[in-house]
Amino acid sequence: MGNPDGFLKYERKDAHACPVNERIKNYNEFHTPLSEKEQKKQGARCMNCGVPFCQSGMQIGNMISGCPLNNLVPEWNHLVSLGAWKQAYDRLKLTNNFPEFTSRVCPALCEKACTCGANGDAVTVRANEYSIIETAYSEGYARPQPPKVRTGKKIAVIGSGPSGLAAADQLNRRGHSVTVYERSDRAGGLLMYGIPNMKLEKHIIERKINVMKAEGITFITNTNVGADITADELKAQYDSIILACGASQPRDIKVPGRESEGIYFAVDFLRSTTSALLVSGLAEGSFISAKDKNVIVIGGGDTGNDCVGTCVRHGAKSVLQLEMMPKLPDDRAENNPWPEWPRVCKTDYGQEEAAEVYGTDPRVYQTTVKEFLSDENGKLRGAVLVKLSAEKDTSSGRTIMKPVEGSEYTADAELVLIAAGFLGSESYVTQSFGVETDARTNVKTAQGGHRTSVDGIYTAGDMHIGQSLVVRAIREGRDCAKEVDYDLMGYTNL
């Protein structure tokens, strides 16, 4: 290592976040990267540990520890410390097709498994990755590099989220001709409309899509496969087809009053804001607005937090975020040791913003909706909430949340956003292609494989493994591409 004692000499410094009262005035990314000199120091904090858990991507219990892409983290941290940006980019691109995305939206499983973090502060792996890829664009390292030889094989990828894009990128590099179909008006899938601008500005996605187009990948948008074009039509045109349509069925809340006007799925709310931002600059009346409304967000995960941050920017009157489960501890419990993923309470950007704007953390734990209330015109006016108690099921050992009798209370609400997760793939697509699904409606394959029950049809991403992280979706796409390539060519070098 260039600085074998760097982890002792330098303290962790991460990208600076713009103050809350400034960043909520717009929808821009709000972190200011470190200077090149300081970023080199952060790279030098990588301690050349004997076993780099940061890149392991192994499953401990039911959680992933380290990077699912097996990124060569210590290698490019070292190269960052030396200022060898081109070499760092070359090492990073070996395992990650889209560091411009993961360096912005990934929860940094690598950092949670960093050896420095066992007894101190982890290395700023994600910020180092960000500096590598942005330097690569500014210096021209990330320019288009079309394959020099084409194989004559044609592949269709259905869905342009991170798994579909990764599969397309890999197969195009191999020399196959790839066409990506997307039912929305812009490519990017989850990245484009499921993640707010504050976390991932859309010109970053378009920048990469333009590189992929220049490298020979064809994108067809506004085309709903299974409706606008049939599976049989695609089978007649392509040698292989990859289904990467995501887990698009949102989980609903089925309680009395659900039909009240003013209740939306989180994904529709977030899409509405992003679409209006891109098309009209958020012209009044062009999106689902939280302005001057009491808002209840149902769900405590990343999507729920994104809804909270978006509502703050809309100018909501108040925001309440409901979480069914108990609050996690602030520090690791004894039964959750490093390098496991830390099951601790995380306050994300949206919750931080709501706390400052409204004076209190928006989260309410062990609480759910018992009934929605509407006025004489059917418009939402409130919700009856109920407290929950955590009880162990003796037969399964699982924790079951049960309503506490007599704990009901009413909260004002003119807007409710359901961010309770997703159930799996959409049936019209799977039925169109005739592929088998499992009990969770994910497309069924052999364990660890991507071949479906129909010859020549493959699957990847959330449609295959259920709702997960962008970084896992990229790994899914890469692994699927490898299988497709092997089946087409009889061998693979992917």
Contact in structure between 94 and 153 (CB atoms under 8 Å): no
Residue 207 has pLDDT above 80, yes or no: yes
Task: Tell me how crowded residue 177 is: count the other CB atoms within 10 A of its CB.
Answer: 19
| Inter-axis angle of helices 85-95 and 73-82, nearest 10 | 170
Residue 229 has pLDDT above 80, yes or no: yes
Mean pLDDT of 116-142: 97
Q: What is the 3-state secondary structure (H, E, C) of 407-448?
A: CCEEEECCEEEECCCECCCCHHHHHHHCCCECCCCCECCCCC
Distance between CA 450 and CA 483 in Å, rounded? 7
Contact in structure between 349 and 357 (CB atoms under 8 Å): no
From 399, 415, 239, select the one nearest 318 (Cα to Cα).
415
Cα three-residue angle 482-488-494, rounded to 5 degrees: 25
What pLDDT is attached to residue 2?
62
Q: Which residues of 253-271 are buried (b: 16+ CB within 10 A; e: fewer)?
A: beeebeebebbbbbbebbb
pLDDT per residue as tens digits for the range 336-369: 999 999 999 999 999 999 999 999 999 999 999 9
Q: Is 218 helix (H, G, I), strand (E, B) or coil?
A: strand
Distance between CA 296 and CA 320 in Å, rounded? 5
Q: Specify which residues 226 forms β-bridges with.
A: none
What percentage of the chain exceeds 90 in pLDDT? 93
What pLDDT is attached to residue 48?
82
Distance between CA 3 and CA 132 in Å, rounded? 19
pLDDT per residue as tens digits for the range 258-306: 999 999 999 999 999 999 999 999 999 999 999 999 999 999 999 999 9
Q: Which domains, and CATH codes, for the chain?
A: 6-139 (1.10.1060.10), 154-248+423-489 (3.50.50.60), 263-418 (3.50.50.60)
Residue 3 has pLDDT above 70, yes or no: yes
Residue 1 has pLDDT above 80, yes or no: no
**What confidence tier does 199 reach under pLDDT thresholds 50, 70, 90?**
very high
Distance between CA 195 and CA 270 in Å, rounded? 7
Q: What residues have CB less than 8 Å from 15, skipping those under 6 apart?
A: 31, 32, 33, 34, 127, 130
Q: Is 243 helix (H, G, I), strand (E, B) or coil?
A: strand
Cα three-residue angle 485-488-490, rounded to 5 degrees: 85
Phi, psi of 261 (to 5 degrees): -75, 125
Task: Give, as one character, the DSSP assignment of residue 342.
Answer: P
Provide the mean pLDDT of the chain. 96
Tell the residue number behind the tokens 């200011």, with chain if given.
32
- Burial grade of 98 (CB within 10 A; 0-12, 13-18, 19 or more): buried
Tell the residue number behind the tokens 């009798």, with chain if given.
405
